[in-house]
Chains A and B, each alone.
Chain A
Amino acid sequence: MKAIVYIIAGTAFGIVMAKSEAISWFRIQEMFRFQDFHMYGIIGTAVILGALGVWLIKKYQLRDFSGNPIVFNPKEKTWTRYLLGGTFFGLGWALTGACPGPLFVNLGYGYYAILIAILGAVLGTWLYGLLRDKLPH
């Protein structure tokens, strides 16, 4: 396994998130108050260029580095889980000022208190697994 390749990709991701301040609680507050373009610029640029990339991969039926066809799995066409789950997620995103990636980037940055939120996120995931059959999807 090319372990080092994934570690390098993750390291690049962590640096990009930290250097563009996307890991900052203040930046997330700015976003949810519609008071600056910064976060919208990051996500918007990523979505536009990402859509272009995905379109090119599909159009030219590109293959991955190992020569296998690249397939994109469409998401299930249900709505409840996306809307409700998304809302829970958004509540936590605004409160901690971090989504799952930045939780860990912040830890590396030296904000050790975030370990409490990481513990919470693991417990929350576990809770979802326990309740999954009882929740509307």
Chain B
Amino acid sequence: MEWILQPWPWHISGFLIVVIMMFLIFLGKSFGFSSNLRTICSACGAGKTAKFFDFNWKSQVWNLLFLVGSIIGGFISYQFLSTGEPVQISERTVEDLGQLGIAPPEGLQPLEVYGMESAFSLSGFLILLIGGLLIGFGARYAGGCTSGHAISGLSNLQLPSLVAVIGFFIGGLAMTHLLFPLIFN
């Protein structure tokens, strides 16, 4: 049972993600997480403000349940399946991040971004809020996120999904290499 507490290798993870995707497909659904954000807007009454949210959101409750499950999965992983060891990232990444004033990992996440103290500072709050805004806006604009485009879409050999993934990388590389030096430090 020791292996279950260690970080799982990429091939196990990739395989299990496909098992979950296939399970949803055989339930007559599809694997796409960010649709939930639209459903949440709709359930909160956003249908009164824009037609985009005026749909029968109750048909998407299954996906909201999947979302609730993902929170439970995070909780179980932390409580029962973790040794609390820091994430073993490459030395070069540690060095590069050090130059931006980000300390080597002590857990899964950097305190400079995910710590409560940072989240309650103005800059820390804005990093999380604006990051979230970009994720939500971009995912719906592109019609999907990593699960919908990078995994479901590419699995179905959809060229538009490849274009979306290229977009993910344009944005991610620009943020990491051009904007991080301005945001951090």
Residue positions of A touching B, CB distance < 8 A = 1-3, 5-33, 35-39, 41-51, 53-54, 57, 64-66, 68, 70, 72, 74-79, 81-101, 103-114, 116-130, 132, 135
User: Which residues on the B side are within 8 Å of A107 (C-beta)?
Assistant: 71, 74
- A91-B171, A100-B139 are known contacts. Are A41 and B134 too (CB-CB below 8 A)? no
| A73 vs chain B, min Cβ distance (A) | 8
- Interface contact B143-A96, CB-CB below 8 Å: no
| A133 vs chain B, min Cβ distance (A) | 9
User: Which residues on the A side are within 8 Å of B180 (C-beta)?
Assistant: 94
Beta-carbon nearest neighbor of B70 in chain A? A14
| B75 vs chain A, min Cβ distance (A) | 4
Beta-carbon nearest neighbor of B100 in chain A? A29
Distance between Cα atoms of A72 and B158 in the complex (Å): 10
- Interface contact A33-B74, CB-CB below 8 Å: no
User: Which residues on the B side are within 8 Å of A29 (C-beta)?
Assistant: 89, 93, 96-97, 176
- A90-B172, A123-B132, A129-B53 are known contacts. Are A42 and B109 too (CB-CB below 8 A)? no
Distance between Cα atoms of A128 and B52 in the complex (Å): 9
- Interface contact A125-B139, CB-CB below 8 Å: yes
- Interface contact B151-A46, CB-CB below 8 Å: yes
Q: Which of B18, B49, B74, B93 has the most CB of A within 10 A?
A: B74
